Amino acid sequence: MPSEKKPVARGRCLCGGVSFEVTSEIPDVTYCHCKQCRIWHGNAVGYTGCRTEDLTFTSDTTLKWFSSSEKAIRGFCTECGSSLFWKEKETPFISFTAGCLDEPTGLTSKSHIFVASAGDYYEIDDTLQKFDGDHTELV
Ligand SMILES: [Zn+2]
Ligand SMILES: [Zn+2]
């Protein structure tokens, strides 16, 4: 009999209509500065993620997926508007915002991606790793 995996992280939207558990260790936080994320979230946003099979929705009554590009979908709550998920259609990984996780997360920040697309109204002046485009080791 397979042993039940205990969740190592839990996340939720503002109203609780969307909540989830993750049963694998999750990587430290990467900040995405791409224009899509800055429109979607209001600014650069910190993401972590896991394999799709390690994430279980404990509530998805208000979850909606939006096809934001040919290769990716984004998940949000139709009730409170929290934007939580980014998922590349063809990969077995799902990204979610670090901000929606219950604390303590046990995470630190590790990198910035799409810094070439960063807004012209702020500086990225910390010592984290920086990548002009995507970073395949995000999850
Ligand atoms: Zn909600
Ligand atoms: Zn992005």
49 lies in some domain: yes
Q: What tokens appear for 36 in the block?
A: 């899509």
Residues 71-116: tens digit of each pLDDT: 999 999 999 999 999 999 999 999 999 999 999 999 999 999 999 9
Domain count of the fold of the chain: 1
Measured in Å, residue 18 CA sits from the centre of ligand 1 at 6
- The CATH number that applies at residue 102 is 2.170.150.70
Measured in Å, residue 133 CA sits from the centre of ligand 1 at 30
88 lies in some domain: yes
Name the nearest CA neighbour of 113 among 92, 83, 91, 135: 135
> What's the rounded mean pLDDT across residues 59-75?
96
124 lies in some domain: no
46 lies in some domain: yes
d(CA 72, CA 83): 14
Measured in Å, residue 75 CA sits from the centre of ligand 2 at 13
Residue 136: per-residue pLDDT: 54
Q: What tokens appear for 75 in the block?
A: 């998940």
In this prediction the pTM is 0.92
Taking 50 as the threshold, does the pLDDT of residue 125 lie above it?
yes
d(CA 42, CA 93): 24
Measured in Å, residue 63 CA sits from the centre of ligand 1 at 8
H/E stretch holding 130 reads: strand 129-130
Enclosing domain of residue 42: 9-119
> What's the rounded mean pLDDT across residues 34-40?
95
125 lies in some domain: no
Residue 139: per-residue pLDDT: 42
30 lies in some domain: yes
96 lies in some domain: yes
Do residues 100 and 16 make contact, with C-beta atoms less than 8 angstroms apart?
Answer: no
> What's the rounded mean pLDDT across residues 16-39?
96
What value does the mean pLDDT of the chain take?
93
d(CA 128, CA 33): 14
